[in-house]
Amino acid sequence: MDSSSAVRSLLLPLALLLQPFGSQAQPGFRMSPAEKRDVRPSEQVRLQCEALSASNTGCSWLRQSPGALTPTFLLYISGGTSSVKLAEGLDATKFAGERVSPSIYRLTVKDFRAQDQGYYFCVVTRNAIMYFSPFVAVLLPVKATTPAPKPKTTTLLTTTSSPIQNSANSGKCKSIASSQGKKRLDFSCDLYIWVPLTGVCVVLLLALIIAITICQRSRRRVCRCPPLIREGGKSGPPERYV
């Protein structure tokens, strides 16, 4: 970098601070594109700066990186000879500049990467005064974050159930049967209805068998008494008492 470029880089922050005071005298600029531009990785980006009221003065391209305090000088395009001087350490195969017309200066950034993001602008010098163009944001699109998948819940089947659960399940079966309009229930509903009914029938049958058995045993239980002696000395058959 020559002495003029070094002086320009040192005076650049001061010129940015003093820019509002000289805004009325600065020439107009037309930037292309004029607004923010989203680019894809490895894409080639072309920016144009047109100084409307200044010609053959030369143009410098700078970039303000996100979060940086001072801008970075990229290259200078001469207005007379159209020669291009890159900043020290800048890759010549990646950055290129050209003078399209006496007042239009173009910047080309090849193989755009994340480190190339920032706010690009140009600077022209007239009568030893530096004038700054509006910023053009050149950024990569923000990737949308996908929400994490919800964990799947599994339900465990229990072999025993309380009466409250049975009543709830039976009500569920009724609602299913009424909504579907079917006369027969599915297998799960049959279990909730027929299993208790079968148990009650078995208990009643056992109770009936036990009652019949007790009645038969009580009829066989008789009391045999000695013969009864009646009046006149005759004996009769003994009376049976159940």
Q: At what angle do helices 163-180 and 187-220 cross, to 10 degrees?
A: 120
3-class SS string, the chain: CCHHHHHHHHHHHHHHHCHHHHCCCCCCEEEECCCCEECCCCCCEEEEEEECCCCCCCEEEEEECCCCCCCEEEEEECCCCCCEEECCCCCCCCEEEEEEECCEEEEEECCCCHHHCEEEEEEEEECCEEEECCCEEEECCCCCCCCCCCCCCCCCCCCCCCHHHHHHHHHHHHHHHHHHCCCCCCHHHHHHHHHHHHHHHHHHHHHHHHHHHHHHHHHHCCEECCCEECCCCCEECCCEEC
pLDDT tens column, 7-42: 445 545 544 444 444 444 456 899 999 888 889 999
Joined tokens for residue 3: 């002495």
Overall pTM > 0.75? no
Beta-ladder partners of 207:
none
pLDDT tens column, 50-81: 988 766 778 999 999 999 999 999 999 998 88
The boundaries of every CATH 2.60.40.10 domain in the chain are: 3-139
pLDDT tens column, 167-208: 545 555 555 445 555 445 455 566 667 778 888 888 888 888
What is the topology classification, in CATH, of domain 3-139?
Immunoglobulin-like (2.60.40)
